[in-house]
């Protein structure tokens, strides 16, 4: 620090005083002067109430992806200030050790800074306080204060990809997520269009009225029906506890359980299916059926599925694949 650099002059003057006695008095005056400056400089640094510091983030953090945590600092002081804020994020999240931001604030100004966290497990986590440090006018000292900011936060399956899907869908840029619309011509029973007959078409697809009208064979194209029932079976047996190593293009790598990759995939798939009007249900099983969510349409169903996926845990037992098929067959038979 600047103060200690100046304070080195005191012992140097005292050493010089062994040959030049008047330097001892100079050292005493110099040292007392530095102490007075230190006290005045520390008082001039101002109280913590000249700052407004807040943490902002999504209400629900997303599993397996980087979540941006924003730190907003407002200075009410009339001078320029160098500040740093060390957050206390949950230590279990990747990036928690880098939760330190620095800035220089102009008089009566606000600055927004951020850092990234990557959760690798779903559940409840706790953020601690915000630790603020700011410099004195002469730079002799740094004052510090803890600003209460404790809050519980939930880590959900990857909601980030759902927001990304919505954004790209509005821009017609879903290819950026690797998603492409594919028309399954000839599949389903919902009529789509007429076209010229080809040798590979089944005879039942020929529209005889259109053929007679146009004087050449005409086939009908069909598309999959809307509002279908989609049932997703999720294995949470022992094997789903195994970790999978992920290597990010940025050079970062981490391990995440198989079940968490499945949960993220189920969430995005069910969201898209719900958006398209399908009825989505989920069956969770290991050695027995643990949860059954009957197929329904609508956003309320998706939110129920989200809460179910949030609380899902793998079990230390072998999965019995006969259970879900038997359960689905029985419930489908009894369904209205």
User: Which of 44, 61, 78 is the C-terminal boundary of a domain?
Assistant: 44
Report residue 186's pLDDT band, with 50, 70 and 90 as the boundaries: very low
Exposure of 65 in the CB half-sphere (CA atoms within 13 A) = 16
User: Which of 204, 223, 242 is the C-terminal boundary of a domain?
Assistant: 223
pLDDT 10s digits, 246-257: 887 777 788 889
Question: Token match 């407002």: residue?
Answer: 74
The per-residue b/e assignment along 195-229, b for 16 or more CB within 10 angstroms, e otherwise, is eebeeebeeebebeebeeeeeebbbbbbbeeeeee
> Is 178 part of any domain?
no
pLDDT of residue 23: 63
Question: Token match 């028309």: residue?
Answer: 183
Q: How many domains does the chain have?
A: 4
34 and 131 both lie in a single domain: no
> Is 38 part of any domain?
yes
Which range has highest mean pLDDT (20-29, 101-110, 201-210)?
101-110
The pLDDT > 70 percentage for the chain reads 76
pLDDT of residue 16: 59
Q: What sign does the dihedral 27-28-33-34 (CA atoms) show?
A: positive
256 with 242: CB under 8 angstroms? Answer: no
pLDDT 10s digits, 141-185: 778 899 999 999 999 998 888 887 776 665 655 554 455 555 544
> Is 166 part of any domain?
no
17 and 86 both lie in a single domain: no
> Is 276 part of any domain?
yes
> Is 162 part of any domain?
no
145 and 62 both lie in a single domain: yes
Give the residue with greater pLDDT, 326 vs 7. 326
| Range of the structural domain that residue 202 is part of | 185-223
214 and 234 both lie in a single domain: no
Poorest-confidence range of 6-15, 49-58, 213-222?
Answer: 6-15
> Is 169 part of any domain?
no
26 and 86 both lie in a single domain: no
> Is 161 part of any domain?
no
| C-alpha span between 218 and 240 (Å, rounded) | 50
140 and 66 both lie in a single domain: yes
> Is 179 part of any domain?
no
* CATH number where 300 lies: 3.40.50.410
């Amino acid at each position: 620090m600047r103060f200690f650099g100046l304070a080195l002059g005191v012992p140097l003057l005292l050493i010089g005083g062994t040959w030049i006695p008047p330097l001892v008095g100079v050292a005493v005056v110099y040292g007392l002067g530095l102490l007075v400056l230190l006290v005045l400089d520390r008082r001039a640094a101002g109280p913590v109430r000249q700052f407004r510091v807040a943490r902002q983030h999504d209400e629900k953090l997303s599993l397996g992806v980087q979540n941006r945590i924003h730190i907003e600092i407002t200075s009410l002081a009339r001078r320029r200030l160098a500040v740093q804020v060390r957050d206390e994020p949950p230590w279990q999240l990747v990036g928690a050790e880098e939760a330190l931001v620095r800035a220089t604030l102009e008089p009566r100004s606000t600055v927004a800074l951020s850092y990234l966290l990557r959760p690798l497990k779903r559940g409840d986590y706790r953020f601690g306080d915000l630790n603020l440090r700011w410099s004195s006018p002469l730079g002799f000292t740094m004052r510090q204060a803890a600003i209460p900011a404790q809050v519980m936060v939930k880590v959900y399956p990857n909601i980030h990809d759902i927001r990304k899907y919505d954004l790209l869908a509005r821009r017609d840029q879903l290819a950026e997520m690797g998603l492409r619309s594919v028309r399954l011509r000839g599949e389903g029973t919902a009529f789509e269009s007429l076209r010229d007959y080809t040798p590979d078409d089944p005879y039942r697809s020929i529209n005889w009225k259109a053929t007679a009208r146009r004087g050449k064979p005409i086939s009908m194209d069909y598309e999959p029906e809307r509002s279908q029932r989609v049932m997703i079976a999720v294995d949470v047996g022992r094997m789903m506890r195994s970790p999978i190593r992920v290597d990010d293009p940025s050079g970062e790598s981490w391990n995440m359980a198989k079940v968490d990759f499945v949960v993220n995939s189920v969430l995005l798939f069910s969201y898209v299916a719900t958006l398209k009007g399908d009825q989505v249900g989920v069956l969770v099983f290991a050695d027995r059926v643990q949860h059954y969510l009957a197929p329904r349409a609508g956003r309320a169903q998706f939110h129920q599925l989200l809460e179910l996926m949030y609380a899902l845990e793998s079990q230390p037992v072998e999965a019995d694949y006969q259970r879900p098929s038997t359960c689905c067959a029985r419930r489908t038979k009894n369904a209205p």
